[in-house]
Amino acid sequence: MANTVHLQYFAILREQRGADRETLTTQAATLRDLYETLAREHGFTLTTAQVRPAVNETVADWDRAIADGDRIVFLPPVAGG
Amino acid sequence: MFSLQREPLEPMTMARPDAGGYVSFVGRVRNHHVGKAVDGLDYEAFDAMALAEGDKVVREAIERFGVLEARCIHRIGSLNVGDVAIAIEVAAGHRREAFRACEFIIDEVKRRVPIWKRERYADGVEEWVHAWSAAPEALTEEAYYQAQTRLPEVGLEGQDRLRRARVLVIGAGGLGCPAITYLASCGVGTILVADHDVLEGDNLHRQPLFRVADIGRMKADLAAEAVAALNPYVRAESHTVRFDASNAERLIAGCDLVLDCSDNLATKDAANAACVALGVPLVVAGIHRMEGWVLSVDPKSEGGCLRCLWPTASQETRSCAEVGVLGFVPGVLGVFMATEAIKRLTGWGDTLGDRLWLVDLLRMEAQSVQRAKEPGCPVCSSPASLAASEPIALKWGDPALAVGDWALLDLRNDAQFEFPLDWPRLSENELSQGGSGRRVLVLCDRGISSVDVVLKARRRGIHAWSLEHGDIGLRRALGR
């Protein structure tokens, strides 16, 4: 089943994606499936073990099922200071 | 506890059976002041207020550092060069808290107790000098803060809460400079700065607490000096060390809050683990080019810790110098950290709570994301879920042994010498009943049977480790 989701990228993911946000229609069942698809497509260097997803303003698990209209944010750890 | 004395002072000598560490400080009249030769001086006190405030200082030192006894006597009247002007003595269980309490008393007495001195210069001139503050006479503590104490939410009571606070800032860099500046100017009474680096020229664009002339000096020292120059009513301590598990407890002990302003995830992880173990709230932030994040780790909340958010966070990330950063980006985030810290210390308004705050200064957007405790987090989850990856045995000297409260289960059959740390001792029976909530180190003859005990204890949710190679390993490490 295809769901339309709104994606937002931070920091290094934004740079590797070349955009800070996008809306797309995906067949992916879970956040993990979606991230791995995007990672292959755009050459993300960070794995799901390093990045934390959030859905609808709440930190989420990679195994969370994707629902239509989800607002998804991928949060890489950044440490500069 | 605090007294004034007109007769000559002699150093005191405390002695009591329950105290192992004694520190005494003696201040004498010196023969010069700001380049002028001094013959002697007269101390004059506003007696009632001096006694009340002095007593308060000594009581605060006893309470804050957990020492057994402390006394301070200040001379008044006419003194000559070399005479004792002030004597302080502290008795404590151990030396460390005695040193800290003694330093606290002398600093606070000079700052808060209304005692003036009239110096008699060798050229015959006499001059009144405020003995208890480096501030110009018109700039009283009240005047310094009047614009913020005017706010009904702050008032004198809120200002007093800030004055009594003790905060550790890890890293005096891009985030640390603005954070330290506002903690100090708003009146956080004691600020500890831990930083092991020297100032370099390419730091200045994002660390405007420093000056070109400071290049090459330790940043912790520079930050402490800058605080002293900015606000005579707070004190800063410089700690020129890299914060890690080996010094975490020493630095954090007695603090009300920690700000991690470091530039790497390994340090942030160490600060996170230590703050969770010691139950001290942590405010932590990170930046990347034009973006940044801030969160608070509150051991009392359900929001979890930094490890809950990024389980493998200690991976390599690049520093600001490598990635590139505009100077004001850590500035914005550092001021935000100070805001969060001051609000947590005083209870004004709402704090970040369990949210992760994200800011994008390129697009001028901010948003927050709700965080939650990860059930399996190796740092902050309940004892029932110590991570499967946690090692069973620790070597003697492992930094983990320096963090948190430990107890010892000694299973050696033929112990030739006493275990060298004064941890509480547990029996096997006490361990099976839950182990008193402390981390437990199990010591046996060869480090073999202790592993079974540890595995069994962990299945019951107890945080236990075996000492690698047991008594043999310990004796080898200690050279016995």
Q: Which of B220, B85, B160, B162 is nearest to B339 (CA)?
A: B162
Q: In the Cβ-directed half-sphere of B284, how many Cα atoms lie within 13 Å?
A: 29
Give the SS3 label for residue B42: strand
Q: Which long-range contacts (CB under 8 A, 24 or more apart) does B128-134 make?
A: B129/B33, B131/B43, B133/B232, B133/B233, B134/B228, B134/B232
Please report where in the chains the tokens 């200002």 appear, as a residue: B159
Chain B residue closest to A61 (CA)? Answer: B374
- Angstroms from B265 CA to nearest CA on chain A: 6
E runs forming strands in B376-444: 393-394, 406-410, 425-426, 439-443
User: Do residues B296 and B353 lie in contact, with contact meaning Cβ atoms separated by under 8 Å?
Assistant: yes
B72 catalytically annotated: no
- Taking the whole predicted model, whether its pTM rises above 0.90 is answered as no
Chain B residue closest to A51 (CA)? Answer: B310
Radius of gyration of chain A (CA): 12
Domains contained in chain A, number: 1
Give the SS3 label for residue B46: coil
Cα of B138 vs its chain's centroid, Å: 31
**How far apart are the C-alpha atoms of B15 and B447, rounded to whole Å?**
42
- Angstroms from A72 CA to nearest CA on chain B: 11
φ, ψ of residue B43 to 5 degrees: the values are -100, 135
Q: Name the architecture of domain B383-478.
A: 3-Layer(aba) Sandwich (3.40)
Q: Examine the pLDDT at A68 and tell me if it is beyond 50.
A: yes
Whole-number Cα distances in Å, B182 to B203, B236, B240, B284: 19, 13, 21, 16
Q: In this structure, which amino acid lies at residue B221? A: D
Annotation: CATH topology of B142-370: Rossmann fold (3.40.50)
Beta-ladder partners of B297: B282
For residue A59, which residues of chain B lie inside 8 Å, CB to CB?
309, 356, 369-372
Task: Find residues 13-32 of chain A whose CB sits inside 8 Å of chain B.
Answer: 14, 20
Chain B residue closest to A78 (CA)? Answer: B286
User: Do residues B275 and B185 lie in contact, with contact meaning Cβ atoms separated by under 8 Å?
Assistant: no
Residue B143 CB burial class (10 angstroms; 0-12, 13-18, ≥19) = exposed
- CATH 3.40.50.720 range(s) for chain B read 142-370
**How far apart are the C-alpha atoms of A36 and A31, rounded to whole Å?**
9
DSSP β-ladder status, B282-288 and B291-297: antiparallel
Please report where in the chains the tokens 């901010």 appear, as a residue: B366
Q: In the Cβ-directed half-sphere of B279, how many Cα atoms lie within 13 Å?
A: 4
* pLDDT < 70 positions in chain B: 11, 33-35, 123-138, 312-321, 382-389, 432-436, 460
A-interface mutation test, from B206, B288, B320, B357, most A Cβ less than 10 A away: B288
User: Do residues B25 and B101 lie in contact, with contact meaning Cβ atoms separated by under 8 Å?
Assistant: no
User: Which two three-digit tokens encode residue B33?
Assistant: 């002041």
The average pLDDT across A37-61 equals 92
Residues, chain B: 480
Q: What CATH number is attached to the domain comprising A41?
A: 3.10.20.30
Q: Which of B135, B191, B130 is nearest to B164 (CA)?
A: B191
**How far apart are the C-alpha atoms of B240 and B169, rounded to whole Å?**
12
Domain limits for position A53: 3-75
Please report where in the chains the tokens 């630095």 appear, as a residue: B251
User: Which two three-digit tokens encode residue B425?
Assistant: 């001792």
Name B216's Cβ contacts closer than 8 Å, sequence gap at least 6.
Answer: B198, B199
Instruction: Report helix angle B176-186 to B328-346, nearest 10.
Output: 40
Name B408's Cβ contacts closer than 8 Å, sequence gap at least 6.
Answer: B419, B421, B423, B424, B425, B426, B440, B441, B443
Whole-number Cα distances in Å, B345 to B19, B163, B188, B378, B381: 32, 10, 9, 28, 25
Give the SS3 label for residue B378: coil
**pLDDT tens for each residue of B433-459:** 666 678 899 999 988 888 888 887 777
Cα of A2 vs its chain's centroid, Å: 16
Q: Do A81 and B323 touch (CB under 8 A)?
A: no
pLDDT at res. B480: 78
**How far apart are the C-alpha atoms of A57 and B368, rounded to whole Å?**
7
Cα of B33 vs its chain's centroid, Å: 32
Is A81 part of the contact surface with chain B (CB cutoff 8 Å)? yes
Please report where in the chains the tokens 């200064």 appear, as a residue: B361
**What CATH code is assigned to B2-130?**
3.90.1170.40
Q: Which of B177, B261, B305, B320 is catalytic?
A: B320
Instruction: Report helix angle B47-65 to B95-112, nearest 10.
Output: 150
Q: In the Cβ-directed half-sphere of B62, how many Cα atoms lie within 13 Å?
A: 17
